[in-house]
Amino acid sequence: MDQGLEKTLTSNITKHANLQLSYWVDSSNIIRKVDDHWDQAMNSESWSERASANGIVGKPLSDFICDDVTRMYVATMIESVRVIPHTSFRPYRCDTPDTKRYMQMVITPESNGWIRVSHELLRSEPIKKPVTFTTIVNRTQSLHPVSTKDKIATIQYVRCSMCNRLQRIADHTSKWQEVDHFAGHELIPMPTKVIYGVCPDCLNILK
């Protein structure tokens, strides 16, 4: 998922057994509230002032999502629950360099019109060959389009924000594959530069 807020959030879930962390957004997808134990759940290894309660409450959820496609995807998930009130369960991945983390996002409408977005760990398993990724922000509203273009020219893969699979950036006909596939069949630079998007399989889940 979101490689800013969600990365910090899910890293703390994995360090606290049976922990579920939630935030609430209003009708404009502004973060209005977080769990009372939000800051207490953070640890020094993954702590970021930007991801603290004071750092996120009152700000648009989109500020914490690094690419346009994923921002639209998350907004659509939330809107579907808002239009037809129901609880939606969305699986996703938020891997570390050496561990596949299978997560679940639970999106629930509340009586006051807010939407609760909760995250929990379902299971984890090791990655055969650890790989470290560096995110290259690819936003249309970038303040530095020239430097961003230069950075994008150096990357090789698009990484799906939902399932974490990879596709070679210049080959839209190639399959989206697990990181194990690429690490086992070709030389992957360390760290590997990626931009984020959403693969067709994950997009189809919204239909």
Is 151 found in the same domain as 95?
no
Q: 109-117, long-range: CB within 8 Å, 24+ apart, which pairs? A: 109/81, 109/82, 109/85, 110/24, 113/26, 113/27, 114/24, 114/25, 114/26, 114/32, 114/33, 115/24, 115/25, 115/78, 115/81, 115/82, 116/22, 116/23, 116/24, 117/22, 117/23, 117/24, 117/25, 117/78
Q: Which of 109, 126, 143 is the last residue of a domain?
A: 126
Is 86 found in the same domain as 26?
yes
Instruction: Name the amino acid, one letter, at 205.
Output: I
Where are the extended beta strands (E) located within 36-149?
88-93, 99-109, 115-126, 133-135
Is 81 found in the same domain as 151?
no
Is 155 found in the same domain as 116?
no
Is 81 found in the same domain as 139?
no
Is 122 found in the same domain as 30?
yes
- What is the b/e burial string over 133-169, where b = at least 16 CB atoms within 10 angstroms of the residue's CB? bebbebeeeeeeeeebeebeeebbbbbbbbbbbbbbb
| pLDDT level of residue 4 (50, 70, 90 thresholds) | low
Query: Model pTM?
Result: 0.80
Which of 109, 105, 118 lies closest to 161 in space, CA to CA? 105
Would you state the pLDDT for residue 10?
56
Domain that holds residue 168: 133-204
Is 77 found in the same domain as 15?
yes
Q: What is the mean pLDDT of the chain?
A: 82
Q: pLDDT tens, 93-123?
A: 999 899 999 999 999 999 999 999 999 999 9
- The residue written with tokens 């994008």 in the block is 152
State the CATH number of the domain containing residue 40. Answer: 3.30.450.20
Is 139 found in the same domain as 112?
no
SS3 181: helix
Is 146 found in the same domain as 89?
no
Which of 20, 27, 18 lies closest to 110 in space, CA to CA? 27
- The residue written with tokens 């995110």 in the block is 135
| In contact, 116 and 107? CB cutoff 8 Å | yes
Is 105 found in the same domain as 63?
yes
Is 102 found in the same domain as 167?
no
Q: Which of 104, 126, 148 is the last residue of a domain?
A: 126
**101/84 Cα distance (integer angstroms):** 30
| pLDDT level of residue 146 (50, 70, 90 thresholds) | very low
Is 68 found in the same domain as 38?
yes
State yes or no: pLDDT of 181 exceeds 70. yes
Q: Which of 94, 126, 158 is the last residue of a domain?
A: 126
- Could you give the number of structural domains in the chain? 2
- For 23, the enclosing helix (H) or strand (E) is strand 21-25
